[in-house]
Chain A
Amino acid sequence: METKLVKTLREAIELAGLESGMSVSFHHHLRNGDYTLNMVMDQIAEMGIRNLTLNASSLFDTHLPLEKHIRNHVVSKINTNYMSAGLGRLISEGLMEEPVDFRTHGGRPRDIALGITPIDVAFIAAPASDCAGNCSGKFGPSACGSLGYAFPDAMYAKKVIVITDHLVEYPLSGWSIPEIYVDYVVEVDAIGNPAGIVSGTTKITRDPVGLIMAETAVKVIAHSGLLKDGFSFQTGAGGASLAAARFLMDVMLRDNIKGSFASGGITGYLVDMLNAGCFRSLMDVQCFDLKAVESIRTNPNHHEISAMHYASPAAASAVVDKLDVVILGATEVDTQFNVNVHTDSSGYIMGGSGGHSDTAAGAKLAMIIAPLFRARLPIVTDRVSCISTPGKDIDVLVTQRGVAVNPKNQELLLRLKDAGLPVTEMETLKHTAEKITGTPKKAVANGRAVANVIWRDGTQIDTIRSIG
């Protein structure tokens, strides 16, 4: 048996048979601390390979060197689920000829599995691996916890290259991606900077506005009829959402409610809830902080799940479909409850759906938590600059000045009114904000298409245009 362990990245890329016009993929668990994408793309560029499709589960500003690879036609197409503001601005200004295709965390594995976005060579940044490619994110100096988003890449790519900075003796105990999918293993000095792997946003807010919203959010959950034994929950890593999780923990402990699971990107706050008995399990597709990494390594009730298991509409079933409540953010919400998380109010790309649309579609109660305005920009508009998640999937918007319930959910509306919550109309929230900020002139991005927003089932739901 030949060894899979090759000496250099270049050799692995050559052995994998990468050629111009093919597709390469990356996962984003190392977040803004990732070294591998730049390392690989620099190597590919040096080898003279051009016109690649780059399929990355998310892109961060640490990946800004991609600009030169795009200008030099090494990369001619990008498929991703999220793009942070630095790279997003370049795309919005028309850096690429081909529009970027934005998918969701569930839509990406769906389209990989269905062969809609085939991958020729997948690169898996593995914090620990053995020489055969049994690998895991739980161990090693760059430990990131779950490798959930890398599973479709490993399972469906024609060739799979594992890149690790922590090569251990065969077999790696506690692998998550097994060797059966892996073609080559390369050892490098470092796959990432641990300081950048942990998000800077995973701290509870101290902003009084955020705390009021979090309190209101928990009252909405408490009176929704869903908070009872078996309760399941997901929240993002924004400051107000984390505060809501902490307040929810107090309520669950006080009322002795035994939930079933919390899912998604996992933070230390959800780990605390698991350990306190609020949930039986965590279903973890990505760890946001070191406490989550430690927990997934040591607690058997903290499960790693693949992107398919998390959210794929092509899977026989997925975790998001079992969710009771999800708390989500927004840069804009419109009077039809459509939510924008792709662009800022000036139309520049600064994010992406991630699991937003997937969880909103699956959860019984999809809640948006957002302040009435940020700086001078109202959050509620007549029409969002970009539809990331359609309004039909959103149940309620929580702000510091009241709660707007989607008319499609009459039961929730009645429950919240009966409970004496500050229920109001979307229009009222819009006017309240504009009385304070003034009425903004709508910034219209009306240039050529720079990105397509593809919903989880493959339908295109919006187009992002360049800033003209």
Chain B
Amino acid sequence: MSKIIKPAVCGTLESSDAFVTLEPGGEGLDIQIESVVMKQFGDEILAVTKDVLREFGVDNARVSVVDRGALECVLRARLECAVLRAKGEC
């Protein structure tokens, strides 16, 4: 699988959406999460983020998720799109 080659973003800051930023990083994953439902779903949001990154073979990157209460399917879609953009695949 190709590597993260450039910074990329996906999503919006509208309610029920999430804004994902990916940048090429040094060693490992540096994941920052901010969410309006942190108390209720913080663990799930982190798990889904890690899950998508693993699925797409991203081992080294700086990742920021600013969540505005996105459903899991929305969050997953935003993450996948950001990854593909960062790889230059879309």
B partners with A? yes
Known: A346-B40, A376-B41, A440-B37. 4 other contacts (CB 8 A): A375-B15, A375-B37, A375-B68, A376-B71
Assembly CA distance A409 to B36 (angstroms): 37
With A437-B71, A438-B44, A438-B72: A376-B16 Cβ-Cβ less than 8 Å: yes
User: B63-90 interface mask toward A, CB cutoff 8 Å, 1 = contact, 0 = none?
Assistant: 0000011111000000000000000000
B42 to chain A, nearest CB (A): 8
- Say if the beta carbon of A377 comes within 8 Å of chain B: yes
Q: Would A438 and B39 count as touching, CB distance under 8 A?
A: no
Main secondary structure of the interface of A (DSSP, over half): loop
Per-residue B-contact encoding for A327-369, CB less than 8 Å = 1, 0 else: 0000000000000000001100000000000000000000000
Q: Which of A346, A375, A436, A437 contacts B39 (CB 8 A)?
A: A346
Shortest C-beta distance, B59 to chain A (Å), equals: 27
CB distance from B47 to the nearest CB of A (A): 11
Which residues B1-33 have CB closer than 8 A to chain A?
Answer: 15-16
Q: A437-B71, A438-B72 are in contact. Are A375 and B16 (CB under 8 A)?
A: yes
Q: Which residues of A contact B39 (CB under 8 A)?
A: 346, 441, 443
Chain B min CB distance to A294 (Å): 33
When C-beta atoms are compared, the residue in chain A nearest to B15 turns out to be A375
Name, among A346, A376, A436, A441, the residue most crowded by chain B CB atoms within 10 Å (CB to CB). Answer: A376
Count of chain A to chain B residue pairs whose CB atoms are closer than 8 Å in the complex:
37
B80 to nearest A CB, angstroms? 18
* A-side contacts of B16, CB under 8 Å: 375-376
CB-CB < 8 A to B70: which residues of A?
375-376
Q: CA A345 – CA B36 in complex, angstroms? A: 10
User: Are B41 and A374 in contact, with the CB atoms below 8 A?
Assistant: no
Q: Which residues of B lie under 8 Å from residue A374 when comparing CB positions? A: 69
User: In the complex, what residues of A have CB within 8 A of residue B41's CB?
Assistant: 376, 438, 440-441
Q: Which residues of B are at the interface with A, using a C-beta cutoff of 8 A?
A: 15-16, 36-37, 39-41, 43-44, 68-72
21 contacts between A and B (CB under 8 A): A345-B37, A346-B39, A374-B69, A375-B15, A375-B16, A375-B36, A375-B69, A376-B70, A376-B71, A377-B40, A377-B69, A436-B71, A437-B71, A438-B41, A438-B44, A440-B37, A441-B39, A441-B41, A441-B43, A442-B40, A443-B40
A441 to B39, CA, bound (A): 7
- Chain B hits for A438, CB < 8 A: 41, 44, 72
Interfacial chain B residues near A346, Cβ < 8 Å: 39-40
Which of B40, B41, B68, B70 is most buried by chain A, counting CB atoms within 10 A of its CB?
B40
- For residue B72, which residues in chain A have a CB less than 8 angstroms away from its CB? 438
Contact present for A377 and B37 (CB under 8 Å)? yes
A345 to B70 Cα, complex, angstroms: 15
C-alpha gap A319/B21 in the complex (Å): 55
The smallest C-beta distance from A272 to any residue of chain B, in angstroms, reads 30
Q: B40, B68, B71: which contacts A440 (Cβ < 8 A)?
A: B40
A325 to chain B, nearest CB (A): 30
CB distance from B20 to the nearest CB of A (A): 16
* Chain A residue at minimum C-beta to C-beta distance from B68: A375
A441 to B41, CA, bound (A): 7
- Chain A residues whose C-beta falls within 8 Å of the C-beta of B43 in the assembled complex: 441
